[in-house]
């Protein structure tokens, strides 16, 4: 799903709370993508693939410029609902995750970068910030505890009864 659709329709924007998963690359090219695909089968989950300006390119910008680009990307995104959870899998996704959370103040951050992912000083800084701000650690495959937390946020997981949780 492209987060930047060309037209806006009422049907597209009518879904309930969302689990927004920021992907570190194109889904088809990700190694071990099966747990991600399983998560994305949840009706309330959407994936956001990287924009044309890669996370690596943004990392080479001064921090203030990278934040500005992330805010613009978040503002342009047209998601099919309101994010309740924004999940990042890499430290370089943190500026976009935070920009989305600025636009959707009720959203919470889930962070799932494996230890050792952060290498550069900037990645280490973003990783530390995300670990401090995250209310949950995203593990793949998703555990029963995380599915339950998603459902408690009103996100439809597709598990029996999850569609009734938000009522």
> How many Cα atoms occupy the beta-carbon half-sphere of 98 within 13 Å?
19
Rounded Cα distance between 38 and 40, Å, is 5
Residues 6+ away with beta carbon under 8 Å from 31: none
The one-digit pLDDT tens for each residue of the chain (167 residues) are 445 443 333 344 457 899 999 998 899 999 889 999 999 999 999 999 998 878 888 888 898 998 899 999 999 999 999 999 999 999 999 999 999 999 999 999 999 998 888 899 999 999 999 999 999 999 999 999 999 999 999 999 988 655 544 44
User: What pTM was estimated for this model as a whole?
Assistant: 0.85
- H-state helical runs in 25-109: 34-40, 55-59, 63-76, 94-103
Enumerate the domain spans of the chain: 18-164
Coil vs helix vs strand at 158: coil
Distance CA 15, CA 143 (A): 24
d(CA 84, CA 122): 27
Instruction: Give the pair of three-digit tokens for residue 63.
Output: 């921090």
């Amino acid at each position: 799903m492209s987060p930047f659709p060309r037209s806006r329709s009422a049907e597209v924007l009518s879904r309930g709370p969302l689990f927004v998963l920021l992907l570190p690359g194109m889904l088809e090219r990700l190694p071990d993508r099966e747990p991600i695909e399983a998560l994305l089968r949840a009706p309330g989950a959407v994936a956001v693939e990287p924009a044309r300006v890669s996370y690596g390119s943004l990392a080479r910008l001064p921090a203030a410029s990278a934040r500005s680009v992330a805010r613009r990307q978040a503002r342009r995104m047209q998601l099919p609902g309101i994010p309740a959870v924004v999940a990042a899998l890499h430290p370089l996704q943190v500026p976009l995750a935070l920009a989305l959370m600025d636009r959707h103040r009720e959203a919470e951050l889930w962070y799932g970068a494996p230890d050792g992912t952060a290498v550069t000083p900037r990645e280490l800084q973003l990783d530390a910030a995300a670990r401090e701000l995250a209310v949950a650690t995203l593990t793949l495959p998703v555990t029963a505890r995380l599915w339950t937390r998603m459902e408690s946020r009103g996100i439809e997981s597709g598990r029996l009864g999850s569609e009734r949780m938000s009522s």
